[in-house]
Structure 1
Amino acid sequence: MNVQVEVISKEIIKPSSPTPNPLRHYKLSFLDQISPPLYTSVVLFYEFNRETQPTITETSKHLKKSLGEVLTLFYPLAGRVKIHDHFVECNDEGISYLEAQVTNYRLHDVLNNLVPDELNKFIPFALDEHIANEFALGVQLNMFDCGGFAIGLCISHKLADGLSMLMFTKTWAAIARGETDEAKIGRPQFVSATLFPPKEITGYDSRAGITKNKVTKRFVFDASTIEDLRAKYTDLQKNEKHPSRVETLLAFMWRRIVGATKADHDDDNKMHRVIYTVNLRPRIEPPLPHYSFGNICRISLTAPLLGKSSSWDDEDQESCYGMVRRVREALSKVDKDMKTLQHGGEHLRVMDRLAQSSSTGEVVTSSYTSLCQFPVYDIDFGWGRPTWVGLPPLPINDLILFLDTKEAGGIEAYVTLSEEVMTKFESDPFLRRRVSMSWFGSAADSSLIRQPALLNHVTKFIPKSSRL
């Protein structure tokens, strides 16, 4: 489909209270410095289920008032990012706020036909856009003629990781609902630069890996499918911990991607590996609260896996479980490397070696991140919980991104690959028989549909996951 979204107004929203002078210089941490200069984003779709529906003016007024209030808590987002100087000038100049009208589709029609790239129309900035105006945050309110609406939000990755983005949105929604309980509002803590002091970095290109030559598709796996795969891998685990549903799906998806990546002329000795983002908050001593703000995460990577180590043309259980084991081994090293990471030098050397091996083609690297178990379906601005939450595709190739479905236990997988590899990937017979159809439709080809998903509400989350 080709949804048409017309921006009808633009303005600047400033914090409702001024930032105190001692807080006006916000340092970027070492982990902020090495984060790519792009935006991360989320789009939340809502349906009105009441007899009286507010107008766009009433909806916007409600959101803008609460936005000004939440910016007093998350004050760096209302400042201006000075990337090369490694700080944010917290001058309260405000954030970009857009209002837009969806002119050719109703909300229900969009959700039944939406493909990931269409989500870019519901956010205020292009995700790979150079932050020439130094905005750290942008919000776009999208109204449908049927009365539904979508809130699109972009946050600079130089300031915030995925958890920080979602906790900001959750806090904003709590304020909009009129919450006064401090525990529900969740005040941010700005400790990242203290834990990971900024460094003088030369020769490191944080834009490496950003590309527009890719395609993203969304594949939905229901709870029963994931549990069936878990059972297969659990049979092999002997005395080891059972794989989680995220570990299970990552092993399954990575195997399918490796198979799609291998060309007929590929050398059997070519290596494949996966890197993934790890949330450091629960791994620091003492553990940090989940509302600690910043890029408090690092990448971890599996040992390279030789292409000839197993056949990629079948669904051999042992090789899939071997992938789970490799992921766990890499995670165990994160705890041991925490002190080294805080000094920063060794982490940069690892990332340099990673970039070099990938650029030469000797190692094929896939990236993975998970937003599963984060409270995306608890984000209520006063009109009820979201009908659906979508993630506009990041401009990074060979990427797997997981998000919980509204149905408890299911997972949506956003997969970004080159067009050639995607064609092979989505035709994989084992993938085709595992992919299910969500209630609002699947971005995957209709031939991949297996069974409809249920509309159970996802259970409320208390953050425990160690991955972003």
Structure 2
Amino acid sequence: MVVLKNSFTIRPAEPTPRSGICISDCDQDKPITHAPLIYFYGSLPCLSFASIIETLKISLSKALVSFYPLAGRLYWTTGNGGRVALNCNSMGARLYEAESDAKIEDFGDFCPTPKLRSLVPSMDYSDPLHQLPLLLVQLTKFNCGGVSLGLATSHIMIDGTSFSHFMSTWAKIARGEPLDVLPFLDRTLLLARDPPIPPQFNHERFNPPPLLIGRSDNQEERSKETTVAMFHLSKTQVEKLKRMANVGRATNVQSYSRYEAVAGHLWRCTCKAREHENNQITKLYFAVNFHNRMLPPLPQGYFGNAYLRIAASSQSGELMTRPLGHASSKIREAMEMVTDDYVRSAIDLVKVQRDLTRFRTYHTVGSTQGHFYGNPNIEITSWIGLPLKNVDFGWGKEIYMGPANVAFDGKCFVFRGHDGDGSLTIAIRLQVAHMDALKEFFYKGISDWSCSKL
């Protein structure tokens, strides 16, 4: 059981600008809810819990001087279709001090169950938006002497790249080290054109996700019981999937990456586990970071959302019967669409939407709002390329970092193994009726590859 002992409001250590920071059109369709993430640190015999809390309080206050938008509050704009604005009022972040009678080993492989989620602050979204902190932190002390650091951050404010920049900066301040890259706070770089240009591309982000054959809506699929599991891939298994994906690849096609191989394999296996009909249309939704796809590239340290959710599409029968390279090629095809022109067209399309609410996904399990990306589809968030790990506040690097929640059917996270040994971990939520089959097909498909049985 987790017991909250204290809570603190952490404001910037120095006066910060009070002028509003633009919320770009690229930010506006992102989740209003807070993305939960967890770090675990082993036993800290040389440090008292009180000293750790004090270090976090002081260093976070200093970090919020540079990252002062995180100390502000969002509010709904008047009659503007679910859009928000930011008030840089220095109301501060929230830091909670907690204790648990559990030990770190009690969390096993750190599967994001409600037990793990209890280590991250929760929000009551029935409260007015302008009262909700944009950053919440919870430090929990365990019976074994270790601690966890749970973070909940408004996705309207930042993406994974900006979050990792913030965490790195905060940790450097805690260690007393000089800062290198300060956040670039001007989000007007990602405003829509004036006037917006009519769509030049088919932006899958704004199309309703496919339904199961024979269904007129997704309500039945939304209501089904789901569960979460962790899949672990060794370096050897990851390399084997890459070889599988690249068999028969044309010489003029660049080798498929480990992400394209792993994502393609997961996509195929979910179709098989869900027992799709061959002509079932299925989509794999995933995020593409476009910092370096813009002309010119976004400035180093750009602070805000700079990714697009896009979709690869196929018939389930093709995915299940053709080699893995087919699934990987569909992912590559979607990824290569994201150019400067594509990004600007997508941003223009956000601007002209009457109501953005229906496009948002939520970090709360069981949410019935927004588009549904579950059966027959999946959505993958990849942290493979993000520097989220090795966050050292002066007491050593974490022993584990991962998501504290996986919100809906078909949603999964892919991230690097802790030891940097080339392994990968996948946290996925799926309907209970299909999870056992997915586990079987996922690992059997790798071990049986030489027999070409998948």
Q: TM-score, normalised by structure 1?
A: 0.78
Pick the aligned partner of 2:117 from 103, 117, 120: 120
> Structure 1 143/11 Cα, relative in aligned 2: closer, same or farther at 3 Å?
same
Contact residue 233 and residue 243 of structure 1 kept, 8 A: yes
Pick the aligned partner of 1:364 from 376, 381, 390: 376
> Structure 1 433/383 Cα, relative in aligned 2: closer, same or farther at 3 Å?
farther
Contact residue 398 and residue 415 of structure 1 kept, 8 A: yes
Give 2:427's aligned residue. Answer: 414
Give 1:305's aligned residue. Answer: 314
Contact residue 341 and residue 347 of structure 1 kept, 8 A: no
Contact residue 71 and residue 78 of structure 1 kept, 8 A: yes
Give the letter for the 1:419 counterpart: V
Partner SS, residue 292 of structure 2: helix
CA distance in 1, matches of 2:387, 2:323: 33
CA distance in 2, matches of 1:236, 1:127: 52
**Structure 1 residue 401 and structure 2 residue 413: aligned?**
yes
Give 1:344's aligned residue. Answer: 349
Give the letter for the 2:325 counterpart: Y
> Structure 1 345/376 Cα, relative in aligned 2: closer, same or farther at 3 Å?
closer
Partner SS, residue 64 of structure 2: helix
Structure 1: 4+ residue segments shifted above 6 A: 127-131, 198-201, 208-212, 351-355, 358-363
1:261-272 alignment runs, 5 A limit: 261-262=274-275, 266=277, 268-272=278-282
Contact residue 22 and residue 186 of structure 2 kept, 8 A: no
> Structure 1 28/345 Cα, relative in aligned 2: closer, same or farther at 3 Å?
closer
Per the TM alignment, residue 360 of structure 1 is displaced from its structure 2 partner at its CA by 10
Pick the aligned partner of 1:425 from 415, 430, 438: 438
CA distance in 2, matches of 1:35, 1:90: 19
| Deviations 1:138-171, CA, capped at 9 Å, x for gaps | 0000111322111111101111112222221111
CA distance in 1, matches of 2:404, 2:126: 14
> Structure 1 41/53 Cα, relative in aligned 2: closer, same or farther at 3 Å?
same
| Deviations 1:409-433, CA, capped at 9 Å, x for gaps | 11111112222232332233x4257
Partner SS, residue 185 of structure 2: coil
Q: TM-score, normalised by structure 2?
A: 0.81
Give 2:338's aligned residue. Answer: 334
Give the letter for the 1:35 counterpart: K
Partner SS, residue 30 of structure 1: coil
Ranges in structure 2 where 5+ consecutive residues have no aligned partner: 79-83, 197-205, 209-217, 362-369, 448-454
CA distance in 2, matches of 1:26, 1:198: 18
Give 1:8's aligned residue. Answer: 5
Per the TM alignment, residue 345 of structure 1 is displaced from its structure 2 partner at its CA by 5.0
CA distance in 1, matches of 2:98, 2:393: 18
Per the TM alignment, residue 128 of structure 1 is displaced from its structure 2 partner at its CA by 7.5
Pick the aligned partner of 2:37 from 39, 42, 46: 42
CA RMSD of aligned residues (A): 3.4
**Structure 1 residue 319 and structure 2 residue 312: aligned?**
no
Higher helix share: 1
| Deviations 1:254-295, CA, capped at 9 Å, x for gaps | 1101111225xx4x3221111111111111112124521111
Give the letter for the 1:73 counterpart: S
Give 2:63's aligned residue. Answer: 70
**Structure 1 residue 276 and structure 2 residue 286: aligned?**
yes
| Deviations 1:98-146, CA, capped at 9 Å, x for gaps | 011011x222x23435431132111012597867532111000011132
Per the TM alignment, residue 196 of structure 1 is displaced from its structure 2 partner at its CA by 2.2
Aligned length: 407
| Deviations 1:178-198, CA, capped at 9 Å, x for gaps | 111x32xx3111233332249
Identity of aligned residues (%): 24
